A and B are shown apart, each in its own frame.
Chain A
């Protein structure tokens, strides 16, 4: 577990854990400048495999500063006594800096909406976009991932919602209420169904509106984001698939 600060290594035995730095799957070489850990190529992790290895990507703990534990002697006068070994990470709650949430380095997920229950799918998507599945979650900062939804016209709902669920909007003028059923909206603009569902589950505010832009919904099975190499969205809800 190659974490930068020398102080952390004294807490648990460091010698065993430096060899565990190998769990990281892909470490692009151009980013290791401020990561500071040892990119070991071997991927052997003995014993139990963690359920979501993605959570152990370097992004989650790209939290540290540059290694100041070795402050040179002639510069020690600049630091207070308590900070001479580097900033205190165990008594201060971590807050992400700009380099911890760069948009171009976030994970991209893809999910196929075919025969998935609308609300359950939207809930999982919203959790991933918000970043609540990460240990580095911060409410004021966008730490979440991007999510691509394909086959949006095939999303399923249970019961009689297909004909009875109403989508309303108001133009602002008197008598300007427009009402549509699920079916009609699905014929017209199928992406809007999933967008409406996810938008209701994201926070309302400036940050929520910015998070909503991280959701990309498409009608067919194709999407233009192959360059981002999206991975499969892990859904833990057991009842998300519509029972036939």
Chain B
């Protein structure tokens, strides 16, 4: 089906009056109805492409506020958060835009495709129902950009992941292996239960008569060669003589399921040369037939024939439900350079939706992604890590739409504006359904197809700024191997918040260096072993109160920062790692002792209410790995099944820990030292040599952090 597309002409005609009609960007929208044809044309485009830009729209990003990306995310925790997001939310739109350099036109040709996808439960798989989460703010956001939810849910293309396909095929295999066994059993039960009542017995007798009549007629017919005389005209509709697999048969229509069971029973019991079969007909409705068979071996053959056919049917329907995954398989098998913008989450979504469950660790994930997609480029990293491009970007934000308008103004505005032509720019033409154009109005932002197109344009322009000359580039050479790009390939932002970059081909993690000057909150390097997570404290306590409270015990510089995870939980970053175990030990002993001294203890303010829990960073990771997502962190910890209040760390340095424990005990056993505890601990800290080694920068930073948090 070719879509005629008169918009360019229309646009020219009304260019004075129309300013920004949303209908003006040529995008190929793909739904259920045109998926097959779109896939076959896309196949050619991808095969010919130099690179393929992609973009995804999801129903949400974070399943709970505390799962948001923080500065305090260690890379494994960051992965767990991405994993949670990819597992819970659905992808509802997938933009694919293959870009090909056309040496004749000296420009890129791209075919932006906008797929609406929606996974339906098309196969009778066992177990849990397909479900996905929607984040209300994301849905609102999509609605703001006029996302067409009807197109997605009513006509979206469904899909199966590789893992789901394997499972379904295995299921089919096992079903057809021991089906005979199962049906025999169910039959036996029927015999036991139902043939006791009179109506059933009478019905069975009647059926027996009719079947023998039919069989008799059939045999006579074969011997005598005369016409088949259906003697039971009254039930012609119910007993329809047909041919089934070259054998005479009766198709049973209009019986209740109970009656069918009785007929099945009669056939089994009284007719050796008849076989009862239940087969799925053309329109997926099942058909019940009684087939005449010549011998036991003929029966076996028939059964096998039917079974094989059913198995093939079942396998066909599984193949048919692969749907949109064909596009992913295509991208993976062609090994083209994939271009995305800040696309770590996108890749995780692709993995979990189209390949299989996400691995438990980031390392495993990275190595398998690299297998499926050997070359990925992230334009956000490209723009931030290269000084030439940074200059080009004039230090503006690297959001996709901003990058697009800064780097490709001539594309963003269509070719209408000629005054920009002086700037060296890569030309891009759009082709949809064999209609090419280089004139258009801007598309709808956050429509996956248009976003993919913008990403591709940004990448093409960035390449030209890096000095890649597409005219010199031979079409056979993979762009990913270009030496000017090599250092940027397969780098993804693990977390944009703290600028951690992961290399998909090596698994190495690096922190962003070039762009760091852009970041406003430049934190000191976070040592995760110095972090304690505290939750369930009285709700009126703010970061500053908690800091003050702990500082009273361990000295004013013991706490580097206090960071709110959400309103019910904070990270407390200590200046030294051993303070973590000291703090947890102390808290543990305060939890146990409910005497007046503990009440007077400076930490009592934090422990008020008796629900305050504390643990090391590892516990935070554990909580993040749970599949549950409660809105508040404190509720989440409860839901994960944490029943203790303090989890002590098993320190590698046992003696130190014992010492501190003893100290705490001594303090608590002495009833007159409420005030002294404070002083003593304070002294401990200030006498400590490592404390004085803290550079003044770090201290200032720590105050800065605190203040930033307060504001």
Q: Are A and B part of the same complex?
A: no
**Which chain B residues have a beta carbon within 8 Å of chain A's beta carbons?**
none
**Which chain A residues have a beta carbon within 8 Å of chain B's beta carbons?**
none
